[in-house]
Amino acid sequence: MPLPRAQQLSAKLRVLGWQIPLLGEEQIASAEGLNEVRFAAKSDADRRAAELLAADLTALGYSVKARSLSIIRPKVLEIWISE
């Protein structure tokens, strides 16, 4: 996803109440082909939040799924979207 489009998406998510760090977007090659919200593997609260964020992203036109990973810190969600 081009960086300006990622920044526009962040702005839309902020309007929906999500806390997105300013300058929190990155464009990295390893995101190619991925469409997911990553969350801490052993946290039910993070899983629920990731599923809600994935639903909001889907409503905005991006088909994403929640995915647990052991490397993600608790209370942190990561959005990985490729276009």
What was the pLDDT predicted at 3?
Answer: 87
Q: Which of 12, 67, 10 is nearest to 37 (CA)?
A: 67
What was the pLDDT predicted at 59?
Answer: 96
Q: Which of 70, 71, 60 is nearest to 6 (CA)?
A: 60
| Residue 23 predicted with pLDDT over 80 | no
Q: Mean pLDDT check: name the lowest of 2-6, 28-32, 47-51, 63-67.
A: 28-32
Whether 32 and 2 have beta carbons less than 8 Å apart is answered as no
Give the C-alpha separation, 13 to 75, whole Å: 17
pTM over 0.85: yes
Tell me: the pLDDT tens digits for 24-60? Answer: 888 888 888 899 999 999 999 999 999 999 999 999 9
The structural domains of the chain, with segments of one domain joined by +, span: 3-81
The dihedrals phi and psi of 69, each to the nearest 5 degrees, come to -140, 140
